Amino acid sequence: MADESDKQKAEQLKREDEDVRHALEQTAGPKPPKQRKVEAKHKVWVGSYLILLIALGVLYYFVRNSAFGFLGDYQTLAERLVTGLMAVLLVLVVRTAIKGFLIEPLENAAARYNLNRIVNLLAYLAIFFIILSILFANWYTAAVSLGFLSLVLGFALQAPISSFIGWIYLIVKAPYKVGDRIAIDNATGDVIDVSYLDTTLWEFGGPMISTQHHPSGRIIKFPNSKVLSAPVFNYSWGLFPYVWNDIKFQIAYQSDLEFVAKVMSETAAEELGEVMQERIGVYRELLAQTPVDELEVRERPTVIFRVDNNTWIDAIVRYLVEPRRAGSVKTRLIKKMLERLKAEPTKVMFPKGDSR
C-alpha cells in the first residue's frame, strides 16, 4: 500500500498537472464538466447580435412590403442583402454562444484553444457560403451550384478532408499531442507538430541506426487520417509516463543465482536513483484511482530467471524508465552490471567460445 506521502504528492500532482487531470477524466469515463462562470463579454456579444438581428428583421419587413419606394429596381437586391446580413448575424450568435457556454467551461486549456479554432473555422466557412449565395439572383440556383461544387470538391479533396477529420479527432480524443513519444504504423518518434492535415514526428530508432531509442535525425510526416485506421502507441501517458525495459544476460546453471539477482537489482536501483523510485510511487498511487488499479507496479527493479533453449539460464532485470532515457540508461546499466558480475568469476559463469 502506498504511504501517506505518496498519496499527498499524487493529489498535488492532480491539482497542478493538467495532463494528469485529463487522463484521469478519460479513464473515469464521461462526466459533466465543472461549470465555470461564463464571461460577461460573451453575454454582451450575444445580446448585441440578437438586438441587431431583430432590427434587421424589422428592416426586412419594411423592405419586403415596399416601404422604401426609392429602392426601385434594387429592391430585390436589398432583400437579399438584408437576408444575408441576418444569416451572418445568426452564425455569429451561434458561434459566440457555443464558445461562451460550451467551450469556456472546459478546464483543459489546450482543448479550449483547439475547439475555438474549429468553431471559428466553421463560422467563417458558413459566412463565406452566405456571401456567395447573396451574389446569386436565385436561392435555388445558388443551392444547386454550391451542391455541385461541394460534390466535385468532395471527390477531388477526399484525402485532405479525411485528414482534416483526423485532426478534429486528435483534438477531441487527444490520442497524442505535441511533445508525446508515439508509434503509429511503421513510424516512431516525438510529436513536434500537429497541423490541420498532417503530423510531424522527430524520429527515434528507425532502419538507419541500430539503437532503438536514439533519435535518427530524420522527421516523419504522415496524414492525420492515419489515426482513424491505425493503432497509436503513446509512451507519454499522463498517468504513467514510464515504460518497462529489461536487460538479459546468459549465465551457466552453476552460477550463484542469488548473487546475480542482487548485483543486477542493486545496480539498476542505483542508476535509477531514489528520486525516480519516489516519482514512480506517486504515479502508482494515481493509477490506483483508475480501472487499472489491479496492475502491479513496482518502483524497484526486479530480476527474473528463465531457462534458455541453449542450456543456459537467462538472467533478466526489469525496471521502469522514462522513454527518452531508455537507451542511455540501458547502456550504462550493461557496462556496470558486466563489470560487477565479471569481478566474481567463481560465482558467475558466462558462455564462452562456441557455447554462446
pLDDT in tens, 192-245: 888 888 899 988 876 666 666 667 778 899 999 999 889 998 887 766 677 778
| Confidence label for 1 from pLDDT (cuts 50, 70 and 90) | very low
Sign of CA dihedral 34, 40, 42, 44: positive
Q: What is the pLDDT of residue 30?
A: 45
How many Å from the N-terminal Cα to the C-terminal Cα in the chain? 43
Question: b or e along 15-24 (b: 16 or more beta carbons within 10 Å of the residue's beta carbon)?
Answer: eeeebbbbbb
| Residue 183 in grid coordinates | 508509434
What is the percent of the chain with per-residue pLDDT over 90, rounded to a whole number? 13
Q: What is the pLDDT of residue 32?
A: 46
Residue 221 near residue 198 (C-beta atoms within 8 A): yes
pLDDT in tens, 86-143: 888 888 888 888 888 777 777 666 667 677 777 887 888 888 878 877 766 555 555 5
Q: Which of 283, 246, 243, 242 is nearest to 268 (CA)?
A: 246
Domains of the chain (ranges; CATH) run 18-156 (no CATH), 172-234 (2.30.30.60), 243-355 (3.30.70.100)
| Residue 75 in grid coordinates | 429592391
Residue 215, sorted as left (phi over 0), alpha (psi -120 to 50) or beta, turns out to be beta
C-alpha dist (Å) from residue 82 to 85, 103, 318: 5, 30, 71
| Residue 38 in grid coordinates | 461564463
Whole-number Å distance between alpha carbons of 154 and 157:
5
